[in-house]
Amino acid sequence: MAVFGQLQNPLPGWILEGATLPEEWMTKADLVEQVAEAIGPGITKKDCALVVDGFLNAVKLALAEGENIEIRGFGTFKVRSRKSRMARNPRTGDPVEVPSRSVPVFKPSKHLRARVAGLDRIAHY
């Protein structure tokens, strides 16, 4: 079994230690629980957590190698190249060159966009 490194700080910097996530956020533990419920009594949460971790690690490794991942009905994970650009240091106003870099992006499928748009219609009533 391959062991993959864990993210040191997976949460954005503005979330303080000890703070709780907003209710509308789903954590990996929530995802594991929902997948375990969907599969039924044939799998333990521990085994389900291994499956979820394996999937997430496969996505991370593929993106790190520059590969695109398409999941029909869900969306596409891609690696995009950002060009180098000139920016300004906010303190001094001096121009600073920001080097080119690769960034991961996610493009939702039409089906997922429609489901999320359905949430907007429900929320407005």
**Co-location of 74 and 119 in the same domain:** yes
Per-residue pLDDT band at 10 (split at 50, 70, 90): very low
In this prediction, residue 11 carries a pLDDT of 47
Residue 8 resides in a domain: no
Whose structure tokens read 């971790």?
53
Residue 99 resides in a domain: yes
**Co-location of 85 and 58 in the same domain:** no
The span from the CA of 38 to the CA of 22, in Å, is: 24
**Co-location of 121 and 103 in the same domain:** yes
Of the chain, the percentage scoring pLDDT greater than 90 comes to: 62
| Residue 83, CA atoms < 13 Å, CB-side half-sphere | 2
Query: Facing residues of 103 across strands?
Result: 80
Residue 73: CATH number of its domain: 4.10.520.10
pLDDT per residue as tens digits for the range 115-125: 888 876 655 55
What mean pLDDT is predicted for residues 24-52? 90
Average model confidence (pLDDT) for the chain? 83
Count of the separate structural domains present in the chain: 2
Residue 4 resides in a domain: no
- pTM (2 decimals)? 0.67
Residue 13 resides in a domain: no
In this prediction, residue 28 carries a pLDDT of 92
| pLDDT for residue 89 is more than 80 | yes
Question: Which one, of 56, 95, 59, lies nearest residue 77 by Cα?
Answer: 59
**Co-location of 73 and 125 in the same domain:** yes
SS3 per residue for 95-122: EEEECCEEEEEEEECHHHHHHHHHHHHH
Residue 9 resides in a domain: no
The span from the CA of 62 to the CA of 79, in Å, is: 10
**Co-location of 58 and 73 in the same domain:** no
In this prediction, residue 108 carries a pLDDT of 95
Reduced DSSP (H G I as helix, E B as strand, rest coil) percent helix, strand, coil of the chain, to 5 = 35, 20, 40
Residue 60 resides in a domain: yes
Domain that holds residue 51: 26-67
Residue 45 resides in a domain: yes
